[in-house]
């Protein structure tokens, strides 16, 4: 479920919390970091449960309308296609989802009116009207209408987002990321696949015994950044002399230190991948100028690490980054001259 960019985000957040708290041990913060990633699964459950809650509320609305004093013909003979949607039934019968919903004691009563309003707007959409008016529908059409509900209404609801945040999900990037993962899960659940298709899980269960799984990646990145922080300060000080140190964003320094750890202690990850990832983190978490600062400093630090024989990667992979980067011609020339010495 989790890609490496997201794992880097969580390590960065944990490093920031660790240094700002001044009290927690490395082990405590590390435990908290893994707990935060694991809770992404709970967030996914909330989102899937919201779909089923809307279906249940719609079914209740239809049943209530039947028992009005003067129901209309449409209310007496309602179109039940949506509430009987095959894909929704499949989701409702999913054992893993049912158990997780019970474990979390999910209750949408505080946002039931919001969910009803969502469904009201959804009923008025062209896609819903077309779906309901078809003579017959295929499995794909049943699935696609659920995807439309989720994509266009559920994930954009501020009230639902606020409710979920009250459960401890405080980073916007967590919500956005899990929404995309959950959406992808709904899109690809084919008719021929098991009705108990495994839900996306933060850490790949097949990697538990692997030598370099996601947990190890996060743990090593976090610990090496803390352990070698003072050493990394020397590299940063040397290569940021033209910047006012008192005005450097603290998060930028953490981003650069993480990148250095990845350069040194992740030999299978190409330099160009690491550089691009941490420039992207600077864009996401820091100031407008951070991308340029992080890019410039890391370009120069790579040269220093090479001279100190601290980077051990495939040279062809290293050069590929500099040969393809549009704005690094000077850095490439400097780097190329150094490695020929």
Give me 85's structure tokens.
């949607």
Q: Between 178 and 146, where is the model more confident?
A: 146
pLDDT at 144 over 70: yes
Write out the DSSP string of 14-36. Answer: HHHHHHHHSSS-HHHHHHHHHHH
Which pLDDT does position 110 carry in this prediction?
Answer: 87
Whether the pLDDT of residue 341 is over 80: the answer is no
What is the tens place of the pLDDT at every residue in 93-103? 999 999 999 99
- pLDDT tens string 69-86: 889 998 899 999 999 999
Domains of the chain, start order? 36-201 (no CATH), 228-339 (1.10.940.10)
Higher pLDDT, 172 or 250: 250
Any idea what the Cα angle at residue 65 is, between residues 64 and 70, rounded to 5°? 125
Q: What is the pLDDT of residue 321?
A: 45
d(CA 10, CA 138): 40
Cβ–Cβ under 8 Å, residues 30 and 56: no
* Average pLDDT of every residue of the chain: 86
Measured CA to CA, the distance from residue 282 to residue 253 in angstroms comes to: 10
Task: Give tens-digit pLDDT for 288-303.
Answer: 788 888 999 999 999 9
Give the C-alpha separation, 212 to 141, whole Å: 40
State residue 35's pLDDT score.
87
Average pLDDT over residues 243-270: 87
Residue 320 has a pLDDT of 47
Separation between Cα atoms, residue 150 and residue 144, nearest integer Å:
10
pLDDT at 260 over 80: yes
What is the pLDDT at residue 5? 92
What was the pLDDT predicted at 9? 93
């Amino acid at each position: 479920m989790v890609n490496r960019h997201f794992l880097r985000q969580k390590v960065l957040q944990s490093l920031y919390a660790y240094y700002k708290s001044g009290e927690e041990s490395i082990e405590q913060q590390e435990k908290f970091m893994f707990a935060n990633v694991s809770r992404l699964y709970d967030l996914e459950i909330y989102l899937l449960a919201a779909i089923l809650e809307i279906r249940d509320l719609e079914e209740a609305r239809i049943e209530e309308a039947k028992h009005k004093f003067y129901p209309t013909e449409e209310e007496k003979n309602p179109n039940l296609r949506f509430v009987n949607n095959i894909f929704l039934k499949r989701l409702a019968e999913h054992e893993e989802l049912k158990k997780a919903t019970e474990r979390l004691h999910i209750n949408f009563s505080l946002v039931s009116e919001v969910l009803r309003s969502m469904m009201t707007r959804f009923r008025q959409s062209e896609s819903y009207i077309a779906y309901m008016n078809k003579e017959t529908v295929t499995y794909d059409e049943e699935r696609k209408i659920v995807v439309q509900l989720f994509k266009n209404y559920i994930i954009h609801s501020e009230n639902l987002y606020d409710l979920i945040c009250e459960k401890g999900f405080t980073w916007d990037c967590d919500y956005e990321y899990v929404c995309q993962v959950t959406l992808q899960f709904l899109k690809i659940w084919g008719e021929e696949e098991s009705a108990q298709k495994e839900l996306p899980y933060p850490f790949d269960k097949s990697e538990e015994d692997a030598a370099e799984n996601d947990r190890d990646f996060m743990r090593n990145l976090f610990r090496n950044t803390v352990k070698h922080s003072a050493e990394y300060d020397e590299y940063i000080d040397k290569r940021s002399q033209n910047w006012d140190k008192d005005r450097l964003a603290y998060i930028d320094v953490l981003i650069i230190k993480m990148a250095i750890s990845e350069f040194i202690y992740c030999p299978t990850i190409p330099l160009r991948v690491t550089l691009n990832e941490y420039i992207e983190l600077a864009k996401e978490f820091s100031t407008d100028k951070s991308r340029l600062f992080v890019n410039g400093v890391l370009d120069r630090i790579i040269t220093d690490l090479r001279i100190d024989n601290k980077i051990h990667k495939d040279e062809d992979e290293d050069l590929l980054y500099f040969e393809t980067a549009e704005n690094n011609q000077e850095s490439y020339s400097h780097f190329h001259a150094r490695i020929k010495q």
